[in-house]
Amino acid sequence: MSSRKFKTEVADLLHLIIHSLYSNKEIFLRELISNASDAIDKLRYLSLTDEKLKGFSFEPRIDISFTEEGVRTLTISDNGIGMDEDDLNNNLGTIASSGTRKFLASLTDEQKKDSNLIGQFGVGFYSAFMVAKHIAVISRKAGDDKAWKWESDGESSYTVEEAQRDEQGSTIILTLSSEGEEYANRWELQNLIKKYSDNIAYPIFLSYDQVHYDNDKKDAEGNPLKTSEHKREQINTASALWKRSKSSIKDEEYKEFYKNSFYDSEDPLFYVHTQAEGAQEYTTLFYIPAKAPFDMYYADYRPGVKLYVKRVYITDDDKDLLPSYLRFVRGIIDSEDLPLNVSREILQENRVMAAIRNASVKKLLGEFRKMSENNPDLYDKFISQYNRPLKEGLYSDYANRETLLDLVRYRSSEEDGFVSLKKYKERMKEGQKAIYYISGGREDVLKASPLVAAYKEKGYEVLIMADDIDDIVTATIGKYGDVPLKAINKQGALDDLKSDEDKKKEEEKKPVAEKIRKALGDKVRDVVVSTRLTDSPAAVIMGDDDPSVQMQRIMKQMGAGDVPDIKPLLEINPDSPVIQKIEAASDEDYVAAASSVILDQALLQEGVMPSDPAAFAKNLTKLLS
C-alpha cells in the first residue's frame, strides 16, 4: 500500500466543496452517475476503435446499492473503462484542467454557493465528500488483469493498493457521514435518480431489501413476522432524449435534460432540436445558457458540444464542432453517417462533419434571427450575454457575415438599450451619407466625447461601439447593405458634415492650425480645423487605418509585440475662446503651453492619460497664473 498527499489544488478544492461550494448536496449522486456513464461511453468507443479492445463485449450498466442498518454505506458501480494505478493517481489525486486553480481562486462568496461549478470542470467525484466520511474506489481497467483500490477520508492524503475485481469498471463505496445518512434510503435514491439521471443512456439498477410483515404469523415476542426479499430494479428510462421525436418531448424534459447534462441550475434561454434526413442523417440538440459560461473568454475554455455517432459517444472536447464565436452553445451532435472510429484529425477534414457544422451554424443563426424578430425581450437577454462573441463572427465567418450584421447590437447616442444596424438605417436623416459610429474606449467615455455631441447637435445618431474588439472588427465590415460605416473619430468622416461656408471658414483658419502644429511638434501627425465641434476646443482623431489611441494603449498593456506609436491628428474648433486666444497670442511660451494642454485635454476626453502628467500639470498651472 502506498500513501500519497493530494496535490495542493485538490486539497483546496476539497475544502471548498465541503465547506461552501455545494449548496445542494444531493448533486453528488448526479456527479457519480455521470462519471459512470462517461466511463461506459469511453469503453464503448474504444471497443470499436482501439486494436487492443476491438470486439470487447459487455452489457453496459450502472448498479447502486446501500446498507440501511449499522454503518450506512452507498455503493455506485459501473462496468465501463475502469482505471489502473496511474489513472487513480492522475484522476483522483490531481486536477488536470489548467484553468481550475485560477478559477477557484477567482470565485466570489456568492459564486461559491453555486452547485454547478465543479461539474463543469469534470471533477465532480470530489462532491461525494459532502456526504461521505470515507471513500473507497475499486477499479480494474479494461484489458488489464489487476485491480486497484483507492481510499481517502478527504483530508490531506489517500492510499492506493492492489485489490480484487471480477470485471472491468469501477466501484465507489461511500461510508456516509451524518450529513449523508439520508441517502441510504430506497425512496430518496429512486427520486434522485429519476430527477437527475433519467436520460442517462444506460440502465441504472437499484438493489435493495424489501421488507414484508406477516400479521398472521408472529415472532417469539408476538410481533408480526418480518421477512425480507432482495430486489434489483431498473430506475431510469435509459433513452437518449435527442433521438426521440420532438413531438413526444415535453418542454420540461428538454430543460431537465439540459440542467442535468450541462451542470446548470437555471433553465436554458432557449433550445433548438433538429432531426435531419436526406443527404446526411443527423440529430442536433442545442441549448443557449441563460448566462454566459464563466470560461467563455479563457484561452482554454471548455467546449460545450458533445459528438455522438449512432448514439455512441465520441468526444466532448473538440473545439471545432462549432466555430469559436459560438463557443457558448451547449448540446449534442449525433451523426448516422460518420465512421465510428473517426479520429480528431479525420473529423476536422471530414466532409460529412463539415456539412453538419455548416448546417448547424446556419440553423442557430436563423433561430437567433427569428428570436430577434418575434421575441425582442428574449433577444435582449440573449444579446446582453452573447453580443461580443457574435461580433467575433463578423471577423471570422465571412460566409455568414450578412446574417451576423443583422444579429449584432450596439449602444446609441439616441436611446438606451441596444440598437441594430437595420434600425439605425431606417431612421437615418435624409441626405445622410453613412452610418456613424465611435469606438475605442469605455461606453461612458465614448458617449461623452465632444465628437458625439457635435453629431447629435446636427441631428445625426452615433452608434457607441465600446467592446474591446469593435475597433478592429468594425473597420473590416465596410458597408451595411449599400451604406458605408464611418468612425467619427477617424479622418475619413471629417468632411461629411461640411457646407461650402464651413469649408471657406476652415481655409481661413489654417494659420492657427499651423501655429498649434508647430508648437506641438512630433506629438501629433497634423492639426486640422473643424467646424463640427461645438463646445470643446479640440478632439483627437486617427487615420482611417489606424487603431484608436485607447486601443493602442490596450495592445501595449497586453504585450502585443512591437506596437507602433501612431500619432493622432488634433482637430481644433476655431470658435472656441481657447483657440482664439492662441490665434491672437504672440508669446511662444504661452502658445506652447496652451497647445500642449488642449492636446492632453482631448486625450483625457478619450479616456487616455497624458503621456507626461507632470508636464500637463505644469502647463495648466502656467496658463492659470
**What CATH number does residue 131 fall under?**
3.30.565.10
Domain-located, residue 365? yes
Which pLDDT value is given to residue 166? 95
Q: Are residues 48 and 133 in the same domain?
A: yes
Q: Are residues 370 and 272 in the same domain?
A: yes
Domain-located, residue 288? yes
Which pLDDT value is given to residue 122? 47
Q: Are residues 255 and 229 in the same domain?
A: no
State the 10-residue block means of pLDDT for the chain, 625 residues long.
76 67 74 90 89 90 93 96 92 58 55 48 74 96 96 89 96 95 94 85 91 74 78 88 92 92 91 92 97 91 90 83 97 89 70 94 98 96 97 94 97 92 94 90 88 88 92 88 92 80 85 92 90 87 76 63 76 92 91 92 84 86 82
Checking phi first, is residue 426 left (phi over 0); if not, alpha (psi -120 to 50) or beta? alpha
Write down which residue in 201, 234, 267 finishes a domain: 234
Domain-located, residue 347? yes
Which pLDDT value is given to residue 250? 95
Which pLDDT value is given to residue 457? 86
Contact 196, 29 (CB under 8 A): yes
Write down which residue in 211, 234, 257 finishes a domain: 234
Which pLDDT value is given to residue 116? 46
Q: Are residues 478 and 590 in the same domain?
A: yes
Domain-located, residue 220? yes
Which pLDDT value is given to residue 155? 82
Q: What residues make up the domain containing 11?
A: 2-234
Which pLDDT value is given to residue 493? 81
Q: Which letter does DSSP use for residue 144 in this model?
A: -
Which pLDDT value is given to residue 96? 44
Q: Are residues 262 and 141 in the same domain?
A: no
Q: Are residues 185 and 291 in the same domain?
A: no
Checking phi first, is residue 571 left (phi over 0); if not, alpha (psi -120 to 50) or beta? beta
Q: Are residues 105 and 230 in the same domain?
A: yes
How far is residue 588 from each of residues 421, 530, 584, 592, 595, measured CA to CA in Å?
48, 23, 11, 6, 10
Domain-located, residue 395? no
Which pLDDT value is given to residue 353? 92
Domain-located, residue 404? no
Q: Are residues 224 and 361 in the same domain?
A: no
Write down which residue in 356, 388, 420 finishes a domain: 388
Q: Are residues 503 and 564 in the same domain?
A: yes
Domain-located, residue 405? no
* CATH, residue 427: 1.20.120.790
Other CB atoms closer than 10 Å to residue 483's CB: what's the count? 15
Domain-located, residue 400? no
Which pLDDT value is given to residue 121? 46
Distance from chain centroid for Cα 458: 41
Q: Are residues 308 and 261 in the same domain?
A: yes
Contact 418, 411 (CB under 8 A): yes
Q: Are residues 521 and 536 in the same domain?
A: yes
Q: Are residues 224 and 291 in the same domain?
A: no
Dist CA 393 CA 94 (whole Å): 36
Which pLDDT value is given to residue 32? 92
Domain count within the chain: 3
Distance from chain centroid for Cα 558: 21
* CATH, residue 247: 3.30.230.80
